[in-house]
Amino acid sequence: MRDVAIIGVGCTEFGELWDKSFRELFVEAGVSAIEDANVQGGKIDALYVGNMSGGRFIEQEHLGALIADYSGLASLHIPSTRVEAACASGGLALRQGIIAVASGYHDIVIAGGAEKMTDVGVETTTDALAAAADREWEGIMGATFPGLYAMIARLHMHKYGTTQEQLAAVAVKNHHNGTMNPKAQFQNEISVETVLNSVMVADPLRVFDCSPITDGASAVVLAPAEIAHKFTDTPIYVKASAQASGTISLHDRPDITTLDATVAAANWAYKMAKTTPKGIDFAEVHDCFTIAEICAIEDLGFVKKGEGGKATESGLTALGGKIPINPSGGLKACGHPVGATGVKQAVEITLQLRGEAGKRQIDGAEIGLTHNVGGSGGTAVVHIFGRDR
């Protein structure tokens, strides 16, 4: 196995991008990643496209070929593969790209993700997203994604005394970080009161506890570590890539407030990178809902189980805190184009480790972690990146 590096990153703005199509978004992110990496198109060996639900959102499948074609690569016939694992599609596409380079099968690989979610109405979007849960035993009973995470939140509050104010603190922090990210869907500050006075979606989660519906794409260029310096002075090295599966249904999870796939993926990743939660300087975690960030920082081992709410409220996870979480604004404020999210997290880590994150730059960041979840925890992907090989 070879060491792998990120040599280029690209990301579109995230938001309701009415005038841009799926293919245009992906190509825009891909081209900016290639330019950042200073690679010629002809050098690309393979393409991985993370996407959750092209079939439902834009009535288009066969996205690997579509993207290769519209990236101008059809005449080169390079392999292009669409990767799907609900909201973890991007993280998985990245992992497939890393495996392809690490194995020696390919040298220069683009791993990207894209989702175009606003071409259909919100009811269709809700239903398409519900397909990430078990349609036959959750969806048919009326389960929605906010509903499933609301049930996690309710039990977390019951078991650990987590409060609605602590949930709100996640959204307030991530919106604050979003104000410093020019690509973020929301770049405005909110207060705890904004969250607590917003419309109820699935009790106890309100609309400001939920990540938005977003269009966007992101991409990275991967290369073997030994040649990474030919392309860039600041390659970012992949220290670990881990993926774990859990039960598809929330009701079958051994502990409903623990995403055990996250725990498994994190443990493998820490072992691979020869580090521990204490060795991580900052992280981009899967905050599809405020409670999801609280569970994530617990399940990744940054705080003890049950203390995620208190830790967030105390500022531990703020930009200047002990372990900054979601400097990009996270899914909550930066936006959540589901197939793109896992790749965008790696883009943010790369910018931070290169010292190019602008106003939201974390001083002295050397090791960063990404955490991407599919569904209510059926899939979890954890990557660890470092400035040094």
Active site (catalytic) residues: 87, 336
- 107 near other proteins, judged by CB under 8 A: no
- 261 near other proteins, judged by CB under 8 A: no
Q: How far apart are CA 219 and CA 212, in angstroms?
A: 21
Task: Determine which residue in the list 13, 84, 115, 138 makes contact with other proteins, applying CB under 8 A.
Answer: 138
Q: How far apart are CA 61 and CA 73, in angstroms?
A: 18
- 381 near other proteins, judged by CB under 8 A: no
What are the φ/ψ torsions at residue 370 (nearest 5 degrees)? -115, 150
Provide the 3-class DSSP secondary structure of residue 62: coil
Helix (H) or strand (E) holding 50: strand 46-50
Contacts of 252 (CB under 8 A, 6+ apart): none
Q: Which is nearer to other proteins, 53 or 71 (CB)?
A: 53
Sign of CA dihedral 184, 185, 188, 194: negative
- 53 near other proteins, judged by CB under 8 A: no
- 366 near other proteins, judged by CB under 8 A: no
- 134 near other proteins, judged by CB under 8 A: yes
Secondary structure (H, E, C), 225-262: HHHHHHCCCCCEEEEEEEEEECCCCHHHCCCCCCCHHH
Structure tokens, 97: 């790209």
- 252 near other proteins, judged by CB under 8 A: yes
- 158 near other proteins, judged by CB under 8 A: yes
Q: How far apart are CA 61 and CA 39, in angstroms?
A: 28
C-alpha dihedral over 302, 303, 309, 311, to 10 degrees? -90
Q: How far apart are CA 49 and CA 374, in angstroms?
A: 16
Distance of CA 134 to the CA centre of its chain: 21
Q: Which is nearer to other proteins, 240 or 292 (CB)?
A: 292
Number of residues lying near other proteins (CB under 8 A): 37
Q: Which is nearer to other proteins, 252 or 356 (CB)?
A: 252
Q: Which is nearer to other proteins, 179 or 247 (CB)?
A: 247
- 212 near other proteins, judged by CB under 8 A: no
Distance of CA 174 to the CA centre of its chain: 14
In angstroms, the Cα distances linking 301 to 263, 286, 298 are 8, 15, 5
Tell me how far, at minimum, the Cβ of 71 lies from other proteins, in Å.
Answer: 34
Q: What string marks each residue from 328 to 357 as x (binds other proteins by CB under 8 A) or -?
A: ------------------------------
Task: Determine which residue in the list 10, 91, 146, 374 makes contact with other proteins, applying CB under 8 A.
Answer: 146
Structure tokens, 161: 């005394």
- 163 near other proteins, judged by CB under 8 A: no
Q: Which is nearer to other proteins, 143 or 265 (CB)?
A: 143
Tell me how far, at minimum, the Cβ of 375 lies from other proteins, in Å.
Answer: 13
- 266 near other proteins, judged by CB under 8 A: no
- 144 near other proteins, judged by CB under 8 A: yes
Task: Determine which residue in the list 204, 309, 330, 342 makes contact with other proteins, applying CB under 8 A.
Answer: 204
- 369 near other proteins, judged by CB under 8 A: no
- 197 near other proteins, judged by CB under 8 A: no
- 152 near other proteins, judged by CB under 8 A: yes
Least Cα distance to 66 among 117, 97, 21 occurs for: 21
Stretch that binds other proteins, among 1-9, 137-145, 336-344, 354-362 (CB under 8 A): 137-145
Q: 285, 300 in Cβ contact below 8 A? A: yes
Residue 319: DSSP 8-state: T
Binding site for other proteins (CB under 8 A): 123-124, 126-127, 130, 134-144, 146-147, 150-155, 158, 199-205, 249-252, 256
